[in-house]
Structure 1
Amino acid sequence: MSEAPKKRWYVVQAFSGFEGRVATSLREHIKLHNM
């Protein structure tokens, strides 16, 4: 049985009004790097 990869927590600071743009950017980065 293989072990699940360890998860890591990150803190992201976003300015008011830019939350959607930050979320989109993070999703694209995650998809690009197969995370």
Structure 2
Amino acid sequence: MDHLELQALASELAFGAIRNALSTQTQRFTTRQL
């Protein structure tokens, strides 16, 4: 594995974590609104 591959993997993981957090917050917000 070279440096670029590691960087791509790291950013993919970070993006997935952020997206998960956002969807969780959105679900909480929607539940609260109902």
Higher share in helix: 2
User: Which residues of structure 2 form unaligned runs of 5+?
Assistant: 1-13
Equivalent residues, number? 20
- State percent identity of aligned pairs: 5
TM-score after normalising by structure 2: 0.51
Give 1 or 2 for the bigger CA radius of gyration.
2
User: Which residues of structure 1 form unaligned runs of 5+?
Assistant: 1-14
TM-score after normalising by structure 1: 0.49
Higher relative contact order (CA 8 A, sep 6+): 1
How much is the aligned-residue C-alpha RMSD, in angstroms? 1.6
Query: Structure 1 segments of 4 or more deviating over 3 A?
Result: none
